[in-house]
Structure 1
Amino acid sequence: MYLTKEVKESIFEKHGKGKNDTGTSEGQIALFTHRIKHLTEHLKTNRKDFNTERSLVLLVGKRRSLLAYLKKTEINRYRAIIKELGLRK
């Protein structure tokens, strides 16, 4: 499995306030980004997997709405997470 407990904890520890703090926007955006990268690689080899494609589109939408929320409320945190994850916007 690509997303183990240890991987999640490391993502939240690096981008959130701690390894058990799963509610911060930065942590959730980082987790979504990790999952999006994995699904993108999967779809490169399995291009007819439409269920995974739908899941990918939904994840991108969730990440996009979280980024919009963060941009609206705290622009400095938004800029930091964009720069840290290397997202385009």
Structure 2
Amino acid sequence: MSIEFIVAIADNTANRTIVEGNDVRLSGGGGTLNGKVLIRILPSGVGAANIRLHIRSPGPWWALDDVRDLQRFSPLVETAVLAVERLS
């Protein structure tokens, strides 16, 4: 069983290199969670100026508790997670 969620990260040049199909790792108080970016949503000028990533993960839902960091490898991008919304 997989879970899906939306993660908000800051909009900057490094974070814009994270695209659909990238494998990512989230970490925080609940441990680590591996996932795949399904959809990347760039800021539209309306609302918060953050990038939103729709991610699917085989990991347990409780690993989303207190998520603080997102990493994408090759090339490495590390960024703070601003918000998480669980979809399933």
User: Normalization by structure 1: what TM-score?
Assistant: 0.25
Query: Which of 1 and 2 has higher RCO (CA within 8 Å, sep 6+)?
Result: 2
User: Normalization by structure 2: what TM-score?
Assistant: 0.25
**Higher-Rg member (1/2):** 1
Higher helix share: 1
